[in-house]
Amino acid sequence: MSEPRLLVVVAHPDDETFGCGSLLLHAADHGWRTSVCCATRGEAGEPAAGRGITRDALPQARERELRDAARLLGVEHVVLLDHRDSGMAGDPEPGALVAVTLEELATQIQAELERLRPQVVVTLDGSDGHRDHAHVKDATIRAVEQTSWHVDRLYLQCLPRSLLQRWADHRRTIDPDSPYLDVEAAELGTPDDRITTTIDTSPWLARRWEAIALHRSQRSPYDDLPEELASGFLTCEHLRQLRPPPTDTRAQLDPFAHRPAI
């Protein structure tokens, strides 16, 4: 029997690590072949101060960081779709991800599904207020619905509302101008009662931090967090199962500890 396959679909370099780093490590440790499909090179990100990375050099730096971090996370394939980062707000530039139609983006992701043939697909829940994250989530769902390749399970990697509201409260004390704080607090995160599956990923915490450090052009959302709050994000994966619709028993299973029939 060949190894099962996981595809993580994200909008920007660092989403694979800041969002799904422990999940990728966990899956690889259980014998899964993992791939990341990233829609942009993160051109609209803000270069972290004092690290010698200019805005002109940012796309190349972030692509390199993506590939280096993916290697550390045990990822076998990295695919770039070559769209432009849309930024948090404002009129998108030509070629920006949010200017791409949902159908066009879904078709591109569908092509990767049919090439890589994953049994499980994961994308971010888009609940942090970034429009690119939400667009990739919607396109990934559409791609799974229309592909000829059968995806056994589709999950959203979730930011639980309870955790994200605590993060926002802390961020207001140290970075009150953060654009992520423009989102209404009541809309941040996925409601906790919609999370179907939790996975203990604490054994991979040290390697997750190593991968985070490789994204040196960016400040991670876990910088300066109290240890307990950072641990809530980094030592447990919170997933919402979309496909198939979960039952109470199936939703509790760790999908990576149970090899699917191939």
Find the farthest-apart pair of alpha carbons in the chain and give their distance in angstroms, rounded. Answer: 52
- DSSP string across 128-145: TS-HHHHHHHHHHHHHHH
Structure tokens at 256: 């990576």
pLDDT > 90? residue 26 = yes
Domains in the chain (CATH in brackets) are: 5-247 (3.40.50.10320)
238: CB partners within 8 A, 6+ apart: 157, 158, 159, 160, 190, 195, 197, 198
- For 148-181, write each residue's pLDDT tens digit: 999 999 999 999 999 988 988 887 887 777 666 6
**Cut 0.85: pTM above it:** yes
Q: Specify the range with the lowest mean pLDDT, choosing from 60-64, 101-105, 187-191, 248-252.
A: 248-252
Q: Give the pLDDT confidence score for residue 168 in this predicted structure.
A: 84
Query: Distance between CA atoms of 7 and 221, rounded to whole angstroms?
Result: 23
- Three-state SS across 56-67? CCHHHHHHHHHH
d(CA 208, CA 23): 10
